[in-house]
Chain A
C-alpha cells in the first residue's frame, strides 16, 4: 500500500534534477579523490610545463609542503628536486617542438608529490619522450643504480667539471643531481606508446 501513497511533494524535485550532471559523470571525481587521498598525494600537476609556470607551481607546492613536511629542510629539498625535474630533466621547449611536428604527441607532463611517512616524500615526474632517447637513459639509469650515494656525489662532480653543455651531458648531470638529493633512491620506467614515443617516469624518494 505504501508504494502508492508517495506524496506529490516528493516527486516534484525530479524536474529540477535535469540540471544536475548525470551520475555517470560524477562517478569519476570521488574515486579519483579517494585514490589521491589513499596514496597521500599532497600535490599534483598535469599540464605543459611553461618555464614561467615553474615558480608558481613551486610556491603552491611549498605551501602544501609547509603543512605536510616535518621540517623546513625537507620542504626545501623537495622544492630543489622539483625545480630540477621541471627545468632540466624535462624540456618544455623540446615538448613544444615535438607537439608541432607530431600530431599524436602530447606535450603535457605530470608531476606528483606523495607523502610516504612523516619524514619521507616521493617525487614523481613523467613525460612523453622520443624512443631514440631511451637507450641513453636506460644506460644512464643502470649506471647510477650501481653506484653508492658517495660514488654518485663523486660522479656528479666529475661530470660537472668534465661534461660539456650538450643535451646528453646536461641530462646526465640532472639525473645524477636527483640521485644525489635522493641518496641514490631513484627509480624509473618507460611505457611504450608507439614507434615514436614512450612515456618516461622518474621517481625520487626524499628523506630527512
Chain B
C-alpha cells in the first residue's frame, strides 16, 4: 500500500502514514475552513488500510492548535482505527499535548472516554 504524505501548511497538519515504515503521524495545526475536504483523503486511505492492516498500528497525534470541525474529523479517523482494533489487531493511539495546553489534554481525555481503542496521553514538557 502506498504511503500517504501531506506536507504541513499554516492551517493544516503534516500527515505521514506509511505501513511499511510503521509510521502513522499527524502533527501541527489543524484549522482548515474545509476540514471535511482536508480529512477526506486521509479517511479514504484508512479505509483501504483497514482491509489489510499491520499487526501493530501506533498512531501518533501531535497537534498544536485545532478547531472543532477538525475534532469531528479526527473522531471519524479514530473510529476507523477502532474498527481495526475491534477486528483483533494491536492498535494504539498516542495523543501528545503540551504541558501548558489543558484544552488539548481534555480533548485527549474525551477521545479516551468515547472510544474503545486505547488512547495514551503523553505530556510534552519543555
**Chain A, residue nearest B79 (CB):** A161
**Chain B, residue nearest A170 (CB):** B69
Distance between Cα atoms of A76 and B106 in the complex (Å): 13
Question: Which of A55, A71, A77, A160 lies at the interface centre, i.e. has the most chain B CB atoms within 10 A of its CB?
Answer: A160
Q: Does A48 contact B (CB under 8 A)?
A: no
Instruction: Give the contact stretch, choosing among B13-21, B29-37, B83-91.
Output: B29-37
A residues bordering B, Cβ < 8 Å?
A: 51-52, 54-55, 58, 71-73, 75-77, 79-80, 83-84, 87-88, 91-93, 156-157, 160-161, 163, 165, 170, 173-174, 177, 180-181
Contacts of B59 in A (CB 8 A): none
Q: Is the CB of A87 within 8 A of B67?
A: yes
Q: Is the CB of B31 within 8 A of A157?
A: no
Q: Does B102 contact A (CB under 8 A)?
A: yes
Q: Does B100 contact A (CB under 8 A)?
A: yes
Q: Is the CB of A91 within 8 A of B72?
A: no
Contacts of A91 in B (CB 8 A): 33
Contacts of A170 in B (CB 8 A): 68-69, 72
A77-B103, A91-B33, A160-B75 known; A55 and B10 CB under 8 Å? yes
Distance between Cα atoms of A70 and B53 in the complex (Å): 47
A73-B102, A80-B103, A181-B103 known; A51 and B11 CB under 8 Å? yes
CB-CB contacts below 8 Å: B41-80 with A? 65-69, 71-72, 75
Q: Is the CB of B29 within 8 A of A55?
A: yes
User: Which of A51, A75, A174 is in CB contact (< 8 Å) with B32?
Assistant: A51
Main secondary structure of the interface of A (DSSP, over half): helix
**A-facing mask of B82-116, CB < 8 A → 1, else 0?**
00000000000000001011110010001001100
User: Which of A77, A83, A160, A165 is in CB contact (< 8 Å) with B110?
Assistant: A160
Q: Is the CB of A93 within 8 A of B33?
A: yes
Contacts of A87 in B (CB 8 A): 31, 33, 67, 69
Contacts of A84 in B (CB 8 A): 67-68
Distance between Cα atoms of A180 and B109 in the complex (Å): 14
A76-B103, A160-B110, A160-B114 known; A177 and B32 CB under 8 Å? no
Contacts of A80 in B (CB 8 A): 65, 101, 103
Contacts of A54 in B (CB 8 A): 11, 31
**Chain B, residue nearest A164 (CB):** B72
Q: Is the CB of A173 within 8 A of B72?
A: yes
User: Which of A52, A72, A161, A177 is in CB contact (< 8 Å) with B68?
Assistant: A177
A38 to chain B, nearest CB (A): 30
A131 to chain B, nearest CB (A): 23
Q: Is the CB of A161 within 8 A of B103?
A: no
B100 to chain A, nearest CB (A): 4
Distance between Cα atoms of A170 and B73 in the complex (Å): 11
Contacts of B114 in A (CB 8 A): 157, 160-161
